[in-house]
Amino acid sequence: MKAGIVGATGYGGAELLRILHSHPEFQVGALYTSSQQGEAIHNHYPHLTENFPQALEEINPVQMAKEMDVIFLAVPSGIASKLAPQILDEGCAVVDLSGDFRLKNSADYEDWYHKKAGPEEWIEKAVYSLPELNRASIKGARFISNPGCYPTATLLGLAPLIKEELLVEGSIIVDAKSGVSGAGQSPSLGTIYSELNENLKIYKVNEHQHIPEIEQMLKVMGYSSPITFQTHLVPMTRGIMATIYGSIETNITENDLWNLYAEYYRDEPFVRVRGKGKFPATKEVAASNYCDIGVAFDERTKRATIVSVIDNLMKGAAGQAIQNANIMFGFEETTGLNFSPVYP
Amino acid sequence: MKAGIVGATGYGGAELLRILHSHPEFQVGALYTSSQQGEAIHNHYPHLTENFPQALEEINPVQMAKEMDVIFLAVPSGIASKLAPQILDEGCAVVDLSGDFRLKNSADYEDWYHKKAGPEEWIEKAVYSLPELNRASIKGARFISNPGCYPTATLLGLAPLIKEELLVEGSIIVDAKSGVSGAGQSPSLGTIYSELNENLKIYKVNEHQHIPEIEQMLKVMGYSSPITFQTHLVPMTRGIMATIYGSIETNITENDLWNLYAEYYRDEPFVRVRGKGKFPATKEVAASNYCDIGVAFDERTKRATIVSVIDNLMKGAAGQAIQNANIMFGFEETTGLNFSPVYP
Amino acid sequence: MKAGIVGATGYGGAELLRILHSHPEFQVGALYTSSQQGEAIHNHYPHLTENFPQALEEINPVQMAKEMDVIFLAVPSGIASKLAPQILDEGCAVVDLSGDFRLKNSADYEDWYHKKAGPEEWIEKAVYSLPELNRASIKGARFISNPGCYPTATLLGLAPLIKEELLVEGSIIVDAKSGVSGAGQSPSLGTIYSELNENLKIYKVNEHQHIPEIEQMLKVMGYSSPITFQTHLVPMTRGIMATIYGSIETNITENDLWNLYAEYYRDEPFVRVRGKGKFPATKEVAASNYCDIGVAFDERTKRATIVSVIDNLMKGAAGQAIQNANIMFGFEETTGLNFSPVYP
Amino acid sequence: MKAGIVGATGYGGAELLRILHSHPEFQVGALYTSSQQGEAIHNHYPHLTENFPQALEEINPVQMAKEMDVIFLAVPSGIASKLAPQILDEGCAVVDLSGDFRLKNSADYEDWYHKKAGPEEWIEKAVYSLPELNRASIKGARFISNPGCYPTATLLGLAPLIKEELLVEGSIIVDAKSGVSGAGQSPSLGTIYSELNENLKIYKVNEHQHIPEIEQMLKVMGYSSPITFQTHLVPMTRGIMATIYGSIETNITENDLWNLYAEYYRDEPFVRVRGKGKFPATKEVAASNYCDIGVAFDERTKRATIVSVIDNLMKGAAGQAIQNANIMFGFEETTGLNFSPVYP
């Protein structure tokens, strides 16, 4: 299968290239960017020297669709809404890593992204694809909307509790923390080293565009009240931790909770529930497609604390995109993703 | 005034020395340690070269009390409970930076610290001293129990809401994050560089010994239900951020909330409430005695988010100890502490 | 004395403000910038909240000269060459932190800085001021050219060897390493967090503009051959280390070498020569005006290794600027600079 | 082929496991440690959860040799000298990652390592294996002595110059910088986070045990004078950069030098010579087996500067060990190692 990468010079694009370099089924057919056309990717990313000899090409949706079997859109929000329909119209499959087709309600998109939403027709057709939650609908899809990084960590952390309807309505608080690579490679005062090193920041307080994405999926799963969700920038490059709080009125023990999670994720290749009383750290999933989870229940407050970690560029972006593409095309789900985290 | 530092080779001790070096009223009289006696402090801390010529001395409470006007105990919990009474008995003032005399209920101490509590008599006499909350009781005290780092950030973040009785009982969740220096200088697998760099960890889930300290003070202030309080280790040396969540049923706006905080802390020299819609980052208080605070209110969930940051070694330890000592001895509260944060 | 800061929103400017906030002789009279006029400095630097109420003002050399006793130019190279003459012509003293007046040979400036040099007349009048090497010429000067960060660390590391004429001509190699704050606050691909964290880079190979500055001063001191000087970017915010190599043919021991350095710097308040066999680390001078030095001699290769560390924003910029201003105006040289490094 | 890992709980051991997990020819047969026997490796390294179900076993050389085809010794120096002979005597192949069999002269070992050397007989038989320099002698060997991390970066950086006999005798200076993971996982004051973060240190000045290893190999290649070699600890987990200086008296240009390197390494799968005027950064080889090299020549000083970077745990340890094992057993040299660096 020939895969084309749009936005190859971004961090999401580079991570797709790293994975595809060792993927037995997909071959990188072409690299597309909005600038630097004609150059080799290793002029921009020397770490890719020799592995990708193709010159960067300009973005031409119709042409791309003709030459490739699948196009990965690793582009900022607001771009994919224009590209995807043209590529799909030509019959080529699309995996969109941006936020453009995640929200089914266009008004929500415009409220939270402050941009114009894409065409309704394609928003409806896009399959929001978090394999551990809706694997069946991904198989055979042609248009994948890849979940956001925070929603992936949060929804995998919440799913067993939601399914069992254990959480008190209105009690979910997610305190999320991310490494800096999620901000991408565009320089800004907010992302320079001297501003972020030895520093911890909260940002987009009550305004993060991933809030409606999480709430939309929670609603599908049966939980309908709004959540509190705050995001922090941690001085590290990769990694997301969602510390999730929720009240449980049912009579339950920490042991029950742990069993629920262990059982729920028993057969999932990319979700690892830590042992009782143990909690994952972000580096334990670095550069891998794992989501690691730990659970606790406090008798004093009747509140569960769920800790869910992923690598934002892997399970939070490129890794999950490949996982989705594997399912879409009928390959073994772990193909090309079955490698160990890098530690330390 | 001659000040003696017990535990001068720890990070808290070193920070006391940094402050006292420029303090016009206190003079460092002697440095005491449980090891390395006879050596110069700069053998252990070359950054202190030339400023502290005194050799390290052994810890002898009676002798120390005779030679000094005030003793700062920058020692691990379990040590101060033995030293403080002997020093106080000799008539010397004590500022204890450890947790040994913070909890008025000895059973709580033994439950959460897993150590034997100190003598009841001195636990009663110790003044838990968070100047912005109980300045009056510090003046003229002889025995200061300096608050913990997390409780300082958390209680200053909560005080205005508690005072106005705005928070729903049982709704407080504190998601706290700390730099690594809080773990002290003792080497352990958990604190080595390669394990913590590019990593984010949660630790002591539902078991942090600062929980009863915060709850005790909240109770004094009129809020009596237990809190959820989780702590995370962030890959940075200094800094604490407490992200505090609480539900408000009263009809209130974000603007009201901001006014409440701005008013409450208007005359405090070391608490700075950020402008509306702005939130502090930890580096903005680095190496200073400030506590910076930002406030938000989410109409969707009726939940307040309060962000409170301090430097754990300063307002969270040595800085606040000096602030308390200033008050205790009747000096201007900001003496020796009135310097700018170090940025970047 | 009223001091005006041009470039107050840069890191050098912010560090000047931090120092001057506690300086008993200089008072910050005004803050000037090329943008953001009318705003408070704490909109840009929240860590400075409350300490500097003045609004940022536009840069008007004549006006500035009238209102201030001394102007600190914390601006990029190419700007100071235009501002300084106008300010000086009005009779106001200037401390220039940029590279514009350091090189006496304008052709060198144009070759290495790739910019047009300033007026010859003022280049001649500017006093290149590294107090430990030419204190006498600073006293009473009106126009200080403050040395570069790398030259400060390098020249202080080399001075005793040069003075004693111990080094073989052509044998000096300086392998210099710097934290990222030296690159300033302007965002660029090269300075964003994700590119620099967990990374070590060499840059400006054989082309750093500090090479002619070091060679010019070495020539004054009696050493005239060119040096090899390479610079590396280290994933930390502050700190410079110059590892200096030079061959010695004279019969000498490591002990002799150490005695030479200890003696040479015995009375210097800001240079600390480490004990025999000990070497400084950059954090041991963080946020202070110290330059710490360690020396070694290898019998096998007859080569000396000198390690010299400074904080690039302090002794490498703002700290040394204040030290020079103190000397210029006849204040005690350590005024406002006599504080301990921040550690850890 | 069944591979046994001794020292599986160290960083070198963990990296071997990461590679072998995806290696098509070697299967991890058993994990051996000097402690924690009976436990699963993921109790120590949660990132390895599920991939290595085997319990840790005690170290029994004879037993190990019977059960495995090859034993990787990822142990501290002083241990391998005892284990290797017993394993080899039983007919099992050994790849030793420690320094115990690198130095052919036992007196050198004892001088620089301050430990007793291993048996002469086995020191002679051990093949010091840096594939790019002596591939032929590795094929068919049974006992591999894997080079040190610094020697790998340094020797690959020097080889073309040495081969062409371009360097002036006595002119080599190597200023080497390493991430902290090279210090291993044993906690010590020198490796804790708060001491190393935002810090740059020089260590083992003129005393690093890799000096005789480099000199021994240089001598084999035809360069016999001693080198100056200093090592620095950089606040990052992985990565080594060797900045190598040497004088060239022959008439040569930077272009000539670049051509020499490009030609010399043209067919090497793991050495990438950067384009003219470009230099590698350590993160560009992170988690990969590459050694990336950049070259410069300064006409002013007639000195070459060679920059050579590796990941110390990969090409500097585990990666090269697998590369050597591949050659030893006749597999394609890049087997299991042909993956992209992790960036950012």
Q: What are phi and psi of B309, to 5 degrees?
A: -125, 145
Q: What are phi and psi of B252, to 5 degrees?
A: -150, 155
A18 vs chain D: nearest CA distance in angstroms? 6
Q: Output the average pLDDT for chain C.
A: 97
Question: pLDDT digits over D66-97, tens only?
Answer: 999 999 999 999 999 999 999 999 999 999 99
Give residue ranges of A with CB < 8 Å to any D CB: 11, 14, 17-18, 21-22, 45-51, 181, 185, 197-198, 237-238, 272, 274, 278, 280-281, 283-288, 292, 338-344
Across the range D192-204, mean pLDDT stands at 98
Q: What is the pLDDT of residue B49?
A: 86
pLDDT at D180 over 80: yes
Helix ranges, chain D (H): 11-21, 41-44, 61-67, 80-89, 106-113, 120-125, 131-138, 149-163, 193-196, 210-221, 254-264, 319-328
Q: Which residues on chain A are in Cβ contact (under 8 Å) with D18?
A: 339-343
Catalytic residue of the set A16, A56, A117, A149: A149
Q: What is the pLDDT of residue B137?
A: 97
Q: Which residues on chain A are in Cβ contact (under 8 Å) with D50?
A: 272
CB atoms inside a 10 Å sphere around CB C169: 11
Token pair listed for A314: 């892997």
CB contact under 8 A, C236 and D199: yes
Band (pLDDT 50/70/90 cuts) for residue C251 is: very high
Neighbours of chain D (3+ CB pairs under 8 A): A, B, C
Band (pLDDT 50/70/90 cuts) for residue C49 is: confident
Band (pLDDT 50/70/90 cuts) for residue A181 is: very high
Euclidean distance between the first and final Cα of chain C, in Å?
A: 34
CB contact under 8 A, B301 and A201: no
CB contact under 8 A, C298 and D197: no
Q: Which residues on chain B are in Cβ contact (under 8 Å) with A201?
A: 279, 281-282
**DSSP label at D282?**
G
Catalytic residue of the set D92, D149, D244, D248: D149
Q: What is the pLDDT of residue D51?
A: 79
Interatomic CA distance for residues B226 and B231, integer angstroms: 16
CB contact under 8 A, B339 and C18: yes
Band (pLDDT 50/70/90 cuts) for residue D53 is: confident
* In contact, B17 and B319? CB cutoff 8 Å: no
Q: Percentage of chain A surpassing pLDDT 70? A: 100
Q: Give the neighbor-by-neighbor strand order of the sheet with B303-310.
A: B201-203, B228-233, B173-178, B240-247, B303-310, B291-298, B271-273
Task: Give the best residue of D36, D181, D191, D193 to mutate against chain B (max B CB count within 10 A).
Answer: D193
Q: What is the pLDDT of residue C53?
A: 85
Band (pLDDT 50/70/90 cuts) for residue D52 is: confident
C194 closest CB neighbour out of A180, A188, A195: A180
Q: Percentage of chain C surpassing pLDDT 70? A: 100
Q: Which residues on chain D are in Cβ contact (under 8 Å) with A338?
A: 22
CB contact under 8 A, D235 and B198: no
Q: What is the pLDDT of residue C51?
A: 80
A296 vs chain C: nearest CA distance in angstroms? 32
A138 vs chain D: nearest CA distance in angstroms? 26
CB contact under 8 A, B226 and A194: no
Question: pLDDT digits over B92-115, tens only?
Answer: 999 999 999 999 999 999 999 999
Neighbours of chain B (3+ CB pairs under 8 A): A, C, D
Band (pLDDT 50/70/90 cuts) for residue D9 is: very high
pLDDT at A50 over 90: no
D180 closest CB neighbour out of B194, B235, B236: B194
Predicted ipTM > 0.95: yes
* Chain centre to alpha carbon of residue A306: 19
* In contact, C153 and C240? CB cutoff 8 Å: yes
CB contact under 8 A, A202 and B228: no
Q: Which residues on chain D are in Cβ contact (under 8 Å) with C197?
A: 236, 344
A–B CB contacts, 8 A cutoff, strictly below: 138
* In contact, B132 and B152? CB cutoff 8 Å: no
Per-residue pLDDT of chain B (344 residues; tens, 9 = 90+): 999 999 999 999 999 999 999 999 999 999 999 989 999 999 999 999 878 888 999 999 999 999 999 999 999 999 999 999 999 999 999 999 999 999 999 999 999 999 999 999 999 999 999 999 999 999 999 999 999 999 999 999 999 999 999 999 999 999 999 999 999 999 999 999 999 999 999 999 999 999 999 999 999 999 999 999 999 999 999 999 999 999 999 999 999 999 999 999 999 999 999 999 999 999 999 999 999 999 999 999 999 999 999 999 999 999 999 999 999 999 999 999 999 999 99
CB contact under 8 A, D283 and A47: yes
B50 vs chain C: nearest CA distance in angstroms? 8
Question: pLDDT digits over A280-301, tens only?
Answer: 999 999 999 999 999 999 999 9
CB contact under 8 A, D49 and A292: yes
pLDDT at C50 over 80: no
Band (pLDDT 50/70/90 cuts) for residue A51 is: confident
Nearest CA in chain A to B235: A235
Task: Give the best residue of A178, A194, A199 to mutate against chain C (max C CB count within 10 A).
Answer: A194
Q: Are strands D127-128 and D93-96 parallel, antiparallel or unpaired?
A: unpaired
Question: pLDDT digits over A189-244, tens only?
Answer: 999 999 999 999 999 999 999 999 999 999 999 999 999 999 999 999 999 999 99
Q: Which residues on chain B are in Cβ contact (under 8 Å) with D198?
A: 237
Interatomic CA distance for residues A96 and A76, integer angstroms: 10
Nearest CA in chain C to A11: C194
* In contact, A52 and A43? CB cutoff 8 Å: no
B340 closest CB neighbour out of C18, C198, C343: C18
Q: Which residues on chain D are in Cβ contact (under 8 Å) with A197?
A: 198
3-class SS string, B42-53: HHHCHHHCCCCC
CB contact under 8 A, B194 and D191: yes
Q: What is the pLDDT of residue A49?
A: 87
Nearest CA in chain D to C192: D344
Interatomic CA distance for residues B229 and B240, integer angstroms: 14
The answer for residues whose C-beta is within 8 angstroms of residue A87's C-beta and 6 or more apart is A61, A64, A65, A71, A94
Task: List the domains of chain A with CATH numbers.
Answer: 2-125 (3.40.50.720), 150-311 (3.30.360.10)
Cis peptide before C341 (omega within 30 of 0): no
Strands (E), C57-205: 57-58, 70-73, 93-96, 127-128, 143-145, 173-178, 201-203
Q: Which residues on chain B are in Cβ contact (under 8 Å) with A175?
A: 175, 243, 245
Give residue ranges of D with CB < 8 Å to any B CB: 11, 179-181, 183, 185, 187-189, 191-198, 235-237
Question: pLDDT digits over A126-160, tens only?
Answer: 999 999 999 999 999 999 999 999 999 999 999 99
Across the range C277-293, mean pLDDT stands at 98
Q: Is C271 helix (H, G, I), strand (E, B) or coil?
A: strand
The answer for residues whose C-beta is within 8 angstroms of residue B19's C-beta and 6 or more apart is B318, B319, B322, B336, B337
Nearest CA in chain A to C238: A194
Across the range C139-163, mean pLDDT stands at 98
Across the range C327-342, mean pLDDT stands at 97
pLDDT at C327 over 90: yes
Token pair listed for B66: 């005779």
Across the range D127-136, mean pLDDT stands at 98
Give residue ranges of A with CB < 8 Å to any B CB: 170, 173, 175, 177, 179, 194-195, 197-203, 205-206, 226-228, 230, 232, 234-239, 241, 243, 245, 279, 281-283, 286, 294, 296, 298, 300-301, 303, 305, 307, 309, 344
Helix ranges, chain A (H): 11-21, 41-44, 61-67, 80-89, 106-113, 120-125, 131-138, 149-163, 193-196, 210-221, 254-264, 319-328
Give residue ranges of A with CB < 8 Å to any C CB: 11, 180-181, 183, 185, 187-189, 191-198, 235-237
